[in-house]
Amino acid sequence: MLSDEIKALYQEMILDHGRSPRHFGVLEPAQCSVKGVNPVCGDTLELYLNIGPDGLIEAKFTGHGCAISMAATSLLLEAIQGRSTEEALALIEQYRCMVKGEVDETQASIGKLITLSGVKAYPSRIKCATLGSHALKTVILSGHSTTVSTEDQGSDI
């Protein structure tokens, strides 16, 4: 169980990333992009991605939405910058499992993304927290520009 001080720190980090997301803007040129939509909450984003010859990722995003959606995408892109696609996909899976409550946050090695561990207590916010990860996973696996919706996630959320 997290202490009240840690919870307050995590909440402040989420608000900070929600107000001032990192890696925000258009990546030009971008090899591919993905539009992500959460019709329930109204969150929308466009994620731009480049994968280098050695598999290292560079990504940015634009969009608007609730603090959880913007913070989750900001923190996720911060975490995957310079990682290989395999490392990024593994991190996305660990994050998804933590947000859904399938693994305890102490079992996930996901860096600052742990700040979103409390989302599991609010099932209606899980789609907000996973929009960016769903979009990123989709574009990494497909390798081309596409559109995704949280309503397409099915058992992924």
Q: Domains in the chain and their CATH numbers?
A: 4-145 (3.90.1010.10)
Q: What is the DSSP letter of 14?
A: H
pLDDT band at 155 (very low <50, low <70, confident <90, very high): very low
Q: What is the DSSP letter of 143?
A: -
Residue 2 confidence (pLDDT) = 58
Question: What phi, psi does 110 have (nearest 5°)?
Answer: -125, 20
pLDDT tens column, 20-46: 999 999 999 999 999 999 998 899 999
**Beta bridge pairs of residue 63:** 45
Mean pLDDT of 121-141: 93
Q: What pLDDT, on a 0 to 100 scale, did the predictor assign at position 153?
A: 59
pTM of the model: 0.89
**Which residue shows structure tokens 């998804």?**
96
Q: How far is CA 6 from CA 2, 3, 10, 20, 58, in A?
A: 6, 5, 6, 21, 30
**What is the DSSP secondary-structure string of 63-99?**
EE--HHHHHHHHHHHHHHTT-BHHHHHHHHHHHHHHH
